[in-house]
Amino acid sequence: MAKDAKKTQRKTNNKKSVKEENKKVVKTTDTKKKEAVVKEEKVKEEPKVEIKEVKKVKEVKEKTLKDKEVKKKDRDEKIDAAFAKIDDNRKGIILFVIGFLIATLLFRCILWPDRIATLKDGTQPIANIGDKVITADDLYTDMKQYYSVKVLLNKIDTMILEEKYPENDEMKKSVQSTADYYYSVYEKNYQYTKEKFLSEYGFANEEEFLKSLTLDYRRNKYFEDYVLGLVTDKEIEKYYNDEVFGDIDSKHILVSVKKDSDKDGLSDEEAKKLANEIIEKLNNGTSWDDVVSEYKDQITSEDLGYQAFNASLESAYVEEMRNLEVNSYSKSPVLTSYGYHIVYKKAQKDKPELKDVKDDIKEEIATEKKNNDKNLYYKALISMREDAKLTFVDTKLGDEYKEEVNKYK
């Protein structure tokens, strides 16, 4: 009986062991299935994450490219403008690199045939595929069809501008700084390495990229000199009489108007009402400092110090500042893109002599000319080529160039 009981016990234990093993197997299988499902879900979700990241990247890129429509008074602004150009004209940059090499070959093969003895005319073969022949004329025709006159103009402008503006340390430093700026922006926003950036924009190496930037640098330098050359003494004298004034020391109170992107803040009507309320307080004898203290949570108060005629201030503020008497304030709110201002004129210096501000006036007038004519940059380059006596032997390219010129007349 004891033996039978032990046998029964062993069988029961074995069955339990088998059941437990089966449970482990089932559990393991279920776990693996769950893991597989989780992995599958992750795989399915990954593209969504990538899409979201790409959207963010695009938003950053768009935001970056929108910051470029400002005056080119310092190096940073010129870099931003160049950044917009390289992104907006991506195809043009790639065409320049490829076309530059093709154009160089064609110039040597066709325009200067004595440099390569084996290619005396366009019918000479430059490559064979079995019994098929590719001639210099074939290559030249394709170049005109796909790269057109724009690539040739890059070559032409390089030749002209290298003579006008020989490379120097300032140019090299500026160009390299611009290149480094691109690298850092793309690394920060898109996680691009330098090599990936160059590859993405069609540059074989950094040297080719620097050549492209150097051409842009020289073109911009010529453009600046060209526009300054358009300014006449009569324009300078008129600007001096109408626009130049002695430096003014002012302070102001600003009641900001909320932007479309802001949920908080005052509406235009509310901001104007508050500005008028503050002016009323001043009219009733409340001091400037007391008003600032009373409304400190609703306003911005700032002392601008002395500002010259060419200061970077909005025209409405400058006009108010000029028209006020010393030790007086605005009797009605002054509207700018920031909101409503109450301006206080503290002091003013004497008007400077013309000879002391002539160069500054010239810069201001040149900036106005650039802002008033968006095609002036292209007109400057067209004028440069005319001065260099550019002519086209190839009538098709000549006709294409005439069409290009007519766009900017």
Q: Tell me 353's DSSP state.
A: P
Is a pLDDT exceeding 60 seen at residue 294? yes
**Threshold 0.85, pTM exceeds:** no
Four-CA torsion 395, 396, 401, 407, nearest 10 degrees = 130
Q: Is 336 helix (H, G, I), strand (E, B) or coil?
A: strand
> pLDDT tens for residues 306-335?
999 999 999 999 999 999 999 999 999 999
* Token pair of 12 as six digits: 């029961």
Q: Tell me 123's DSSP state.
A: T
Please tell me the predicted confidence (pLDDT) of residue 218.
98
Distance of CA 150 to the CA centre of its chain: 22
CB 336 within 8 A of CB 314: yes
Q: Which residues, other chains included, contact 408 with Cβ-Cβ below 8 Å and sequence gap of 6+?
A: 375, 378, 379, 382
Q: Is 129 helix (H, G, I), strand (E, B) or coil?
A: strand
Which of 247, 242, 218 minimizes the C-alpha distance to 368? 242
CA–CA distances in Å: residue 5 to residues 1, 8, 105, 325, 347? 6, 5, 101, 117, 114
d(CA 64, CA 86): 12
Please tell me the predicted confidence (pLDDT) of residue 102.
52
Q: Is 280 helix (H, G, I), strand (E, B) or coil?
A: helix
> pLDDT tens for residues 42-95?
333 443 434 333 333 344 334 334 444 444 445 455 545 555 555 544 445 555
Instruction: Please provide the average confidence, as pLDDT, over all residues in the chain.
Output: 79
DSSP letter string, 143-163:
HHHHTHHHHHHHHHHHHHHHH
**Beta bridge mates, 250:** 305, 345
d(CA 407, CA 379): 10
Which of 55, 57, 146, 59 minimizes the C-alpha distance to 99? 146
Higher pLDDT, 315 or 134: 315
